[in-house]
Structure 1
Amino acid sequence: MDTQWACHELFCRRVSEMTDGAFQLVPFGPGEIVPGLQVMDAIGQGSVECGFTPATFYYGKDPTLAFGTAVPFGLSSRQTWSWLYEGGGREIMRDVYRDQGVHAIPANNTGAQMGGWFRREVRTQEEMKGIKMRIAGLAGLVMGKLGVIAQQLAPGDIYPALERGVIDAAEYIGPYDDEKLGFNRIAKFYYYPGWWEWAPSADIMVNAKAWDALPAQYKQVMETAGAECWHWSMARFDELAPPAMRRLIATGTQLRPYSREIMGAAYKASKELYGELGDQNPRFRKVWEHWNKHRIEQTQWFRVAEDSMANFVAVATTQR
């Protein structure tokens, strides 16, 4: 079962369970009632009352929405949660969502994603030029600065586009979900890390007027269910990724790290993009400055406590 769909189902079930069946949400699959990249539009307009989608799909309406999911060279899952719930992230993002007619509840996170499937190796920035790649959100704009031709496709459209050669590469989530969609049957080079989505979130979005009309108890139930699903999905991805990666490698998938040259160029391009978007959009600059302050503080803290421990254990574990 696709982990995103499983999270969607869990949210609906937990809302029902916590209200003894009095509050029912009926889950529909991708594309059943709304096309894949139009979920937020339908909710904001009131065509449907709520839905499950990453905010970054709609960055064209306001690039600030990307902070609701993930931005290049951003935060880990723990750092994301602390920004949202202790660092003021939800408060500063509330009006961003409201302007789209929705109330957003964080309800899913995948942790660090992979860097995509490629038909051929890419070792240098020069070799990235001209590649047609499915990649969503601000990452597509960064890739554009590296010469990549970025395309945003709904998840269900990725495999046929890659199979027909419409695109040369595609990023999605990680080993478990990517294996389910069969990308390894078409492109054998699997790159890491997914520097654009260190810990992307997806939201349960509720029509703003419908949200305002809900009883306080039901609002709290939905918020609580969202928090549970967010952490459940993190645990599920962490548990399912290792065996899925082993299966992929056993069937011919070749892991490749992005070179330091490509990573450095992408980091520089990301910083340039944030400056450009900030100059064009005062709201983006305001949120970016708030988010970036949190990122810098968290990076410094994790470098001392978390990263030092993780690096030692990684080396010690591989020693014979």
Structure 2
Amino acid sequence: MREGLDRVVDALRLAAAGLDQLFERKGIKSHMMPNPDGHPWIRVMHPMHEMRFIGITPNRGDGPIYLKLRVFLYEQYKDEFDRLLLGKFFSFEGVALLRNPAYPGASWLRYLEDEGRPVVGYETTINVSSWPDETFNARIHSLCEEFCLFAKAVVTGGAEYDALPDTRPSNPAPAWLRDEAALEELQANSDLSESEILALVKIRIGQSNYRQQLIRRWGGCSVTGCKLTEFLIASHIHAWGKCESADERWDPDNGLLLTPSLDKLFDRGLIGFDDSGYVVIHPNLARGQMHHFGVDQNIRLRRDVLNMHLGIMKYLKLHRQVNGLEPISVA
């Protein structure tokens, strides 16, 4: 267990007791439980007719520890869900926390399909790494309780909802944080093969804030300049699964916008780009077939963007090294 997570586990265990008592409908009791891989989380099952469950869990991976607070509603309750995503923000200790859609994990999604009642999810996060030990358990308990009461008030509407503070976040979260929470579950899902995980990751990246950053940066395909962004693919330079940290995964320097054919070749390591942006072609890409993909020796990354963001070169080099595109040095 990584440093700092053990005290979160203890605090969550204390906080879980009695959360179900905040709701009129009594179902399975709230409790802390581990995922199959041992990762801890609180769940409150079926606390309201509209609500499938509330879940509270720390993030995976290295770096700061933040708690992810989620609520999943049955999809039929669209008005209630719209209030979660578009209405008042959840505030803790006077600070409004950013909100985002949340997605069921792949294994739970299959279960929901069998159940026949799709859900939609809401999530907010808070960094708890710097909370001092002497107040840590009490603050975690208050956070969990206030989140449950917030979700109840939003879903119920009326006077309790009107009484919630109408505050807005003052500081945006790091860009990667808004996407990482949804994607890290895929990486930890033991029911999926590596290829299935990476395929789902690609889909999520295509729907993410990260993609919007790349569109703003490149304005079109990073090579051809094609402006039909709805058909372009947000492609990591150094592959998502090989990144060592969330910062690398969501660094805009680690991303390109490519047409589907170029993305496929780049993703398979059949093409790369040197530090000047010119294409590097793998020997396995038959020269007689290159033109079918719009590839020739003269294509390159757009010079204007590359010159403004020199951090891209670090990831281009990693991509070349991983895929055997670096020139062989002669001693």
Task: Compare relative contact order (CA 8 Å, sep 6+) and give the higher one, 1 or 2.
Answer: 1
TM-score after normalising by structure 1: 0.24
Flag the structure with higher strand content.
Answer: 2
* The structure with more radius of gyration: 2
